[in-house]
Each structure stands twice: as structure tokens, then as C-alpha cells.
Amino acid sequence: MRFPDTVEVLRPTGADEYGNPGAGPHAPAGTFAGFLSGDAVYGPPTADVQRGDRLRIGPDVYDVEGDPRRLRSPSKAVLTRVAVRLRRR
């Protein structure tokens, strides 16, 4: 499968100014090859994405919605699917 986009994972580094965990600033945590289709990003089964992360694809940043899901064929995991929402600037 061809993954044309470089997806940068931005992970929260701590709490925000009100003490809410995981709501603080986001810092780069890695990249993977993937692709955006509608409101989902697809990547390899080894993609390290978590709830609360943000994904940067080109100039756009997306919020991860919920938990990433591993899509399977009858024999193995073949894709990671992440529901996303475009962040407003």
C-alpha cells in the first residue's frame, strides 16, 4: 500500500495553565508515512498515535478524535485508522 503523506505526531507535554493533564503544549513525538482520507488518517499498523495527540500533514494540524483503531485482515493488522478533526487557527 502506498502512503503518500508524511504525518508528524504532536504529543501533549503536560498540563495546561488550569492543571488539566494532557491539555498543555504539544511537541513533536515522531513521524510515519500515511494518508488523509476525509475525516480519517490511515497509516501502518506500527504507527504510534494516541488519544489526545495532534497530527500535522503539510501545513494543516488535526486533533485526534478518540482512540486509534487497528484495522485487520483475517491474518494480520494491516492499517491504523485515526479519526481526526481539522484544528481551527
Q: What is the mean pLDDT of residues 55-79?
A: 91
Beta carbons within 8 Å of 59's beta carbon, 6+ residues apart? none
Q: Under CATH, domain 5-86 is a member of which superfamily? A: Bacteriophage SPP1 head-tail adaptor protein (2.40.10.270)
CA distance 89 to 84: 15
CA atoms within 13 A on the CB side of 36: 18
State pTM to two decimals: 0.84
**Residue 56, strand partner residues:** 8, 61
pLDDT score of 89 more than 70: no
Q: What amino acid occupies position 59? A: P
Q: CB of 40 within 8 A of CB of 81?
A: yes
The pLDDT of residue 55 is 96
Residue-wise pLDDT tens digits, 2-60: 889 999 999 988 777 777 766 667 889 999 999 999 999 999 999 999 988 999 999 99
The pLDDT of residue 22 is 66
